[in-house]
Amino acid sequence: MLTGNKGEWSEVYTLLKVLSDKVLFAGNENLEKIENLIFPVIKILRDESNGTFEFGYDNDIVVIKNDEEQFRIPINKFTEQANILLAELKKTTTATFSIPVIEEFINSFKCQSLKASSSVKSDIRIVIHDHRTGTNTELGFSIKSQLGGSSTLLNAAKTTNFVYKVANLKNTDIQVINQIDGRSKIKDRIEKIKEKSGTLEFINTENQIFENNLTLIDSSLPKIIAELLKQFFTSKLSKTVDLVTEISTRNPLNYKTGNSHPYYSYKIKRFLTDIALGMMPSKVWTGEYDVTGGYLIVKDDGEILCYHIYNKNKFEDYLLHNTKFDTASSKRHGFGKIYEENGELKFKLNLQIRFLK
C-alpha cells in the first residue's frame, strides 16, 4: 500500500489536476491567477522507478503510454479523482497516510509511486504550447504544495552559517550571554551583546564553497545576506520582502541610491532564483539550472499556478513575496553562541528560508 505525506500526495494531485485542466495558469507575486496568461498542456512526462510515463490527449481521452503498454482513460475520470484526492488532503491530519481509491486509480495505468524518480531533478515534466512564440516546449517543474507544512527553499545546515566578529565585548560577559535560554534565545543573546556595547561585524560564511557561490551570483551577496540575517535576528521582521525593504531603507552597503536603483531587491531576487533552480550551498554552483521550468504551486484551495523562467520577472517576484527567514536548530547546526578563535570573539548566525503558507 502506498503511504506518503501531503507533499508527496500533492505530486499525484498535480498530475491528475493538470491533466484534467489541460492548461497551466500563470500566477503573480500574490499567488493570483493571471487571467490572460494561460499555457495549453500538450503532454506530461513522469519518471518513475519502473520507467517513464507519457500522458497525452485524444480529444476527451487521456492517452497513457509506457515502454510496453497504452491506456486510454476519459478526462472526466481524472477530474473525479483529483477532486477526491483534494478532499482527502484537506481533511487528513496525520503525518503520513494512504488513500486506497487513488492508489487503485493510478495502478490502473501501472503508475506505482507517489513521487517522481529520485534520479531526476524535476518532479514533473510538461510540454506546453506558448502562444507568443508558437512553439511547444518541454519544461521541468518542482512542485510546492500549500496543503501540507511550509516547505523550505533553502535548508539549514552548518554550510549556511554566517560568521561575525564580536567587537567591544568583555570576556567576562561571554558566559552570561551564552547561558541565556528559551525560544528566542538567539535574539536575546544578540540583544544582550548590544546592551554590553558589543557589535557583530560580518567576517565570512562558515563554508567557503557557499561563499564562493554567493560571490559568483553577485560579489556583494555575502555582505547583504549577513545584514539581512542580523536584521531578522534583531527585529520582528521575517518575510523576505520586508527584510529587503528595510535593508534598502538603511542601505548598509552605501550604494548610490539617488536614481532609485533597486540594488538590494535585484540581488536578492537573483539569489532566490538560483536557489530555486538548483544552487546548493555545499556544491560548486556553475549557474546551470537543474529545474528547467520553474515551480508549480498547489494552493490550499487546490488551484495550481505556474511560475517559470519564461516569465522571469513573475517568478522572481513570487519568490521574493512568498518566502521568509526561519530559525533552525542552533544545537544541530552549531550557531548562536559566542566563542573564541585565533584571539577573536566570534558568533554565528544561520540562514534558512521557507515558503509562506
Q: Are 123 and 142 in contact (CB under 8 A)?
A: yes
pLDDT of residue 27: 93
pLDDT of residue 50: 77
How far apart CA 231 and CA 220 sit, in angstroms, is 17
Q: Are 209 and 199 in contact (CB under 8 A)?
A: no
How far apart CA 288 and CA 286 sit, in angstroms, is 6
Q: Where do we find the cell 503532454?
A: 43
| Cell numbers describing residue 93 | 491530519
Q: Would you say residue 118 has pLDDT above 90?
A: no
Per-residue pLDDT tens over the stretch 218-259: 999 999 999 999 999 999 999 999 999 999 999 999 999 999
pLDDT of residue 35: 85
Query: Which candidate, 316, 269, 324, places its Cα nearest to that of 295?
Result: 316
Compute the Cα dihedral for 265, 271, 206, 191 and give only its sign.
positive
Q: In 59-198, which ranges are E strands?
A: 61-65, 70-74, 124-130, 135-145, 152-154, 161-167
Span 50-76, average pLDDT: 93
Per-residue pLDDT tens over the stretch 6-39: 999 999 999 999 999 999 999 999 999 998 889 9
Q: Would you say residue 217 has pLDDT above 90?
A: yes
Q: Are 129 and 283 in contact (CB under 8 A)?
A: no
Q: At what angle do helices 6-21 and 100-107 cross, to 10 degrees?
A: 50
Query: Which candidate, 123, 115, 137, 127, places its Cα nearest to that of 23?
Result: 127
Per-residue pLDDT tens over the stretch 261-319: 999 999 999 999 999 888 999 999 998 876 667 899 999 999 999 998 778 898 999 99
Q: Pairing state of beta strands 124-130 and 135-145?
A: antiparallel
Q: Would you say residue 109 has pLDDT above 70?
A: yes
| End-to-end Cα spacing for the chain | 29
Query: 98-107, 128-137, 144-153, 193-202 — which is least confidently predicted?
Result: 128-137
How far apart CA 337 and CA 54 sit, in angstroms, is 53
Query: Which candidate, 22, 20, 25, 4, places its Cα nearest to that of 298?
Result: 25
Going by pLDDT thresholds of 50, 70 and 90, the confidence category of residue 56 is very high
How far apart CA 62 and CA 208 sit, in angstroms, is 50
**φ, ψ of residue 118 in degrees (nearest 5):** -70, -10
pLDDT of residue 312: 86
Q: Are 180 and 341 in contact (CB under 8 A)?
A: no
Going by pLDDT thresholds of 50, 70 and 90, the confidence category of residue 129 is confident
Per-residue pLDDT tens over the stretch 143-193: 999 998 888 999 999 999 999 999 999 888 999 999 999 999 999 999 999
How far apart CA 318 and CA 141 sit, in angstroms, is 15
Give the global pTM: 0.88
Q: Would you say residue 214 has pLDDT above 70?
A: yes
Query: What mean pLDDT value characterizes the chain?
Result: 93
How far apart CA 32 and CA 287 sit, in angstroms, is 29
pLDDT of residue 148: 84
How far apart CA 90 and CA 74 sit, in angstroms, is 25
